Amino acid sequence: MNHIIETARARIRTHRAWLAATGMALVGAATLGISRDSAAHGEGAAHGEGAASSFERRCIGTYLVLEEASQAQTLWTFHADRTLIASSTGEEVFVFSGQQGSWRPEGETGAKAVELVFDWDDAGTLEAIGRVDIDVRADDRRCDTIRGEFEGRLFLPGQDPLELGDTAPLYGDTIVGRRVSVP
């Protein structure tokens, strides 16, 4: 088990771009477990309970996101049901899955999100599950740009990425994003 942990840590140091890219990560099977507080489970303004935040009203859509330190790029799509889907430039190169997650409004112009990603070794065996905690906010009233930060953790197969416990972050970055729109 220590060998697996050391291998994962070495891989993190070697592949900084991958680490930043996994900052946009989430597992589809875990989406329901993560989104307990989301509209996907019948809560929030999407279901007639209170007023929606500005982020919820204006920021639904797809963003081209740049991770500032690593320069990795990702597409993030915030859905009205408070799910989050992402696709990263590092997926094929560093052998990790597409990212899926859940988000909720935070304050008037922000959101918090959790994403998960599967990470495989060269033989195609599940090596780890990445969890990324994201804090993002709208830069402008129309939500044409967003900015924020994230931090990521790795969990060995069999560990529960939905429970943080005392798992320390292994990587993080700041982001800026621009909405993808039809001209």
CA–CA separation, 24 and 142 (whole Å): 23
By the 10 Å C-beta count (0-12 exposed, 13-18 middle, 19+ buried), 175 is classed as buried
Report the DSSP beta bridge partners of residue 66: 73, 176
pLDDT given at position 50: 52
The closest of 55, 2, 18 to 170, measured between CA atoms, is 18
From the list 74, 70, 96, the residue with the least C-alpha distance to 85 is: 74
pLDDT digits (tens, 9 = 90+) for 126-139: 999 999 999 999 99
| Model pLDDT, residue 121 | 87
- Which domains, and CATH codes, for the chain? 2-179 (2.40.128.640)
Q: What pLDDT shows up at residue 176? A: 97
Task: With CA atoms as reference, report the closest residue to 96 among 124, 69, 73.
Answer: 124
The ranges of the chain with pLDDT < 70 are: 1-51, 90, 93-95
Is the pTM above the cut of 0.75?
no
* pLDDT at res. 172: 92
Q: Looking at residue 37, what is its pLDDT?
A: 37
Q: Report which of 44, 59, 21, 66 is spatially closest to residue 142, judged by C-alpha positions.
A: 59
Inter-CA distances, 126 with 4, 10, 156, 158, Å: 11, 16, 9, 10
Residues 14, 169: Cα–Cα separation, whole Å: 17
Which of 126, 135, 137, 136 has its CA nearest to residue 161? Answer: 126
